Amino acid sequence: MCSTRRRIFRRNDTGGMKRTHSLRDRIVAATKDLIWERGFENMSPRDVMDRSGAGQGSLYHHFRSKQALAVAALDEMKAEEMATVDTIFDPAVPPLERIGRYLTRERRMLRGCRLARIANEGAIENEDLRAPVAAYLDHITGLIGASLAEAQARGEIVPDIDARQVGATLMAIVEGGFVLARAHWDEARMREVLAGAMLFVERLRPAPPAGQEIGPRARAL
């Protein structure tokens, strides 16, 4: 009889853990959506409860504060976005093509950058909130810089540039494009910026030998 009770308890306990875990996931998923839609400061615990269907007791059972909840959400967002970017920067793809794929990827321009949007809020001064945002941006900067360094080694771009600095510049161009699109509420502003970034990368290629004609597609990324 005691053995049977233990088995029943384990089954019930396991089921309870699954339900609790599912509720935590819903809370975090709601927070991720709200941070991107409204930002950290304009998001309230009540918004999270309404979006996730969680009660106040459940919310604070999993997260001691709004900040702790946001950190968990930002950490997941960072992992998701890094995985997406890692796919774009597939090492099997030629280095300049990787950069072109990143610059031309589909974006929700008026929403802003999914993580870096909160950089415009006072909350970014908090180290715990800032860490996943900074790590994400550094990750992309590193991928762009590494791709440029590989292109240099292959003789595809000029040798007299600092690949890391140019990678940081291209990252700043993209993030600035989000700002312009939102400031003017016009996606065309960011498309213009991204077209300029593509042209900037194109101009990194070595000049062709004198007298050699370059076709319109020969220098495509």
The yes-or-no verdict on residue 220 having pLDDT over 90 is: no
pLDDT number for residue 17: 41
Q: What is the pTM of this model?
A: 0.82
**CA 98 vs CA 29, 49, 126, 151, 190: distances in Å:** 30, 40, 33, 11, 19
CATH class of 70-207: mainly alpha
pLDDT number for residue 10: 33
Domain ranges of the chain: 1-63, 70-207
The yes-or-no verdict on residue 54 having pLDDT over 80 is: yes
pLDDT number for residue 2: 39
**Tens of pLDDT, residues 131-157:** 999 999 999 999 999 999 999 999 999
Tokens at residue 51, please? Answer: 């979006």
| Architecture of the domain defined by 1-63 | Orthogonal Bundle (1.10)
pLDDT number for residue 215: 52
pLDDT number for residue 96: 98
pLDDT number for residue 5: 34
H-state helical runs in the chain: 2-38, 45-52, 56-62, 66-88, 95-103, 127-153, 163-184, 187-202
